[in-house]
Amino acid sequence: MSDGTRTPSTTHQQRLVWRRLGDALRPQPSLAQVIVGLLCLLLGLSIAAQVRESEDSLEGATQQELVRLLDESGRHTADLEVENADLERTLDTLRSGQEDDVAAQNAAEGRLADLEILAGTVPAHGRGIVISIADLEQGVRASTLLGVVQELRNAGAEVIQIGDVRVVASTSITTGTDGRLQVDGTAIDAPYVVRAIGDPSVMEPALQIPGGAADSVAGDGGSLAATADDDVRIEATVALSTPEHSRVVK
């Protein structure tokens, strides 16, 4: 296919060809040469880009390689799916755990409120009765007042306050040296006002039963009047003291 090209037959012609090669390699600052250079630059750029492009393409891969790649990606997918399932299970566990936690916290909060009311550390209000014990002759004894409290508790009083003192489990009712009644060491003056939160329809009759609290007060020379109230407010609280000797049995 050497159409138009003659093989040089003499040494002279041969030398001419080499000179032409030298001429071609010598830079000639003409516009055409610059354009040729630019085209070649473009060609080089394309070659580099294309080489890089086909490096990471699968076009040249053999069937075996493709099968292996497919296998690998399939295995990878399976692995990821297993991992996904694991993570979803963990997420479910955490979610349900969180729900449990919320329920437990709600229960604990409710229990805390109950216990706070029982321990007397927070104010409370609700329907109940207000009892006023008039004692003009200073004859009402501590045991009588204690009887009133017992009777109220018996009748289901939940929170009780005498005068300005909250009555809790450890409350004592005593008679002071001056003859005045003391609740938890605080002297109170007649008329003694006892507030109790509970069912008025149970507590009121309980006080009035024959031989009951009302009669005892009358026997001491005082008089007891109880009025039901829809919203008895008990504002007095006690401070909790840390138990010094008792320990929880585990």
- Given the rule CB under 8 A, which residues bind another protein? 1-2, 4-5, 7-8, 14, 16-18, 20-21, 23-28, 30, 32-50, 52-54
What is the C-alpha separation between 146 and 181, in angstroms, rounded? 11
Cross-strand partners of 129: 196, 228
Do 152 and 227 form a contact (C-beta atoms < 8 A)? no
Quote the least distance from Cβ 67 to another protein, whole Å.
21
Residue 64 CB neighbours (<10 A): 8
Instruction: Pick between residue 22 and residue 179 the one whose CB is nearest to another protein.
Output: 22
Quote the least distance from Cβ 40 to another protein, whole Å.
4
Quote the least distance from Cβ 54 to another protein, whole Å.
8
Instruction: Pick between residue 25 and residue 249 the one whose CB is nearest to another protein.
Output: 25
* Cα-based distances in Å from 2 to 5, 6, 14: 5, 7, 17
Quote the least distance from Cβ 85 to another protein, whole Å.
37
Residues with Cβ within 8 Å of residue 49, at least 6 apart in sequence: none
Instruction: Pick between residue 45 and residue 78 the one whose CB is nearest to another protein.
Output: 45
| Closest of 183, 204, 223 to residue 128, by C-alpha | 204
Quote the least distance from Cβ 60 to another protein, whole Å.
11
Quote the least distance from Cβ 10 to another protein, whole Å.
9
Instruction: Pick between residue 56 and residue 244 the one whose CB is nearest to another protein.
Output: 56
Instruction: Pick between residue 10 and residue 177 the one whose CB is nearest to another protein.
Output: 10
Instruction: Pick between residue 30 and residue 241 the one whose CB is nearest to another protein.
Output: 30
Quote the least distance from Cβ 61 to another protein, whole Å.
16
Instruction: Pick between residue 2 and residue 177 the one whose CB is nearest to another protein.
Output: 2
Residue 46 carries which side chain, given as an amino acid letter? S
